[in-house]
Amino acid sequence: MTPAAVCSPEAFAAHLEAHHRLVDEALRRWLPPPDETPARLHESMRYSVLAGGKRIRPILCLTAAAGFGGAGLAARVDEVILKIACALELLHTYSLIHDDLPALDNDDLRRGRPTNHKVFGEALAILAGDALLTLSFQWIADAAALGSPADRVVAMLACFARAVGHVGMIGGQVLDIEAEKRPIDLGHLREIHRRKTGALIGVSLEMGALAVGAPAADVQVMTECGAALGLLFQIVDDLLDVTGDTVALGKETGRDVRLGKATYPVLMGLEGSRSLAREARDQAIGALARASRPLPLLVAFADHLLARTT
Ligand code: IPE
Ligand code: IPE
Ligand code: MG
Ligand code: MG
Ligand code: MG
């Protein structure tokens, strides 16, 4: 059992800012250049990835890697972890482009800009999403060429594929659509959230630990912490759709009610949802206490995800 470790709000804010910048610079550098054929596809990919975004998933991955020993490694290995972290952001951005399509949530605003299909048309938005999805696997595989042991890379690819496919994120997106305009119970809602959002957030932490060869017990702690943080993240996303600000969020609020989505505020009310979010935060911190070393930045992350307003 690891004693609770503390990270000051200033230190955490500096950590977030520095890693946000690192991820943004790497994405800009590694994405296909906008003038390379087919230019329109590359413009469309870059448009959504470089539009901003909080970069929560790559920063969680980098934080877990640093927590289990990645921070002091050679620059070459840090580049490996950064590429894996950026792969998570590619996958996430693809999921947003497709989530916004008229056939899904039919949204016009994302990351403070018109959605991808509004600018590039539906065909290109679908294909840019497909290209980001496949490129994310390529970037994880690149870790082997950059010096990461092959068995580690295979382990990361396997858990990533599982998290984002039919048993994970895509399955969750289907359950989300099927639950529209229908009464569902709390267990069902939890399952939707676990898959559509929790799986990718969970695997971001797991891959950070796997990338630096953390022991299996610590990877398991990341799995448990990730499940709680994922749930926390989506409860807050649901809350912000009701209480948040469109300009600050960069996406239109009030969409869930209009689309008849099954959400925590609909099922539990605002106070009930906030209380469940706090429980999820406590669970995440409880899991972190079972890690083999103190992880103060991840503890601070749990608080940050509970308090976020964007
Ligand atoms: C929004 O994710 C979609 C959900 C899974 C709820 P984020 O809130 O992380 O979106 P960006 O990346 O900051 O734009
Ligand atoms: C999106 O959930 C989940 C995925 C993209 C996998 P939401 O539909 O709630 O996300 P927002 O609110 O549009 O960002
Ligand atoms: Mg959706
Ligand atoms: Mg949506
Ligand atoms: Mg939402």
Whether the CB of 56 sits within 6 Å of ligand 1: yes
Which residue's CA is the closest to the ligand 1 atom numbered 5?
197
Which residue's CA is the closest to the ligand 2 atom numbered 8?
99
| Residue 71, pLDDT above cutoff 60 | no
Give 110's strand partners: 113
Ligand 2 centroid distance, CA of 105 (Å): 8
pLDDT the model gives residue 3: 46
Q: Is 45 exposed, middle or buried (0-12, 13-18, 19+ CB in 10 A)?
A: buried
pLDDT the model gives residue 247: 97
pLDDT the model gives residue 295: 97
Whether the CB of 111 sits within 6 Å of ligand 1: yes
pLDDT the model gives residue 70: 61
pLDDT the model gives residue 240: 98
Ligand nearest to the CA of 53: 1
pLDDT the model gives residue 69: 85
pLDDT the model gives residue 190: 96
Ligand nearest to the CA of 201: 1
The 10s digit of each residue's pLDDT in 10-32 is 999 999 999 999 999 999 999 99
The 10s digit of each residue's pLDDT in 280-290 is 999 999 999 99
pLDDT the model gives residue 5: 64
pLDDT the model gives residue 6: 86
Neighbours of 86 (CB within 10 A): 28
Which residue's CA is the closest to the ligand 1 atom numbered 14?
53
The 10s digit of each residue's pLDDT in 205-254 is 999 999 999 999 999 999 999 999 999 999 999 999 999 999 999 999 99
User: Which residues, other chains included, contact 298 with Cβ-Cβ below 8 Å and sequence gap of 6+?
Assistant: 60, 63, 64, 67, 205, 225, 284, 288
Ligand 5 centroid distance, CA of 27 (Å): 24
pLDDT the model gives residue 222: 97
- Please give the mean pLDDT across all residues of the chain: 95
The 10s digit of each residue's pLDDT in 108-140 is 999 999 999 999 999 999 999 999 999 999 999
Kindly list the protein residues whose Cβ atom lies closer than 6 A to any atom of ligand 2: 95-96, 99, 105, 169, 173, 196-197, 237, 241, 251
What does residue 110 show for φ and ψ, rounded to 5 degrees?
-150, 130
Ligand 4 centroid distance, CA of 99 (Å): 5
pLDDT the model gives residue 72: 46
- The first and second tokens of residue 107, run together, are 């949204």
Question: Which pLDDT band, with edges at 50, 70 and 90, does 4 fall under?
Answer: low
Which residue's CA is the closest to the ligand 2 atom numbered 1?
99
Ligand 4 centroid distance, CA of 97 (Å): 9
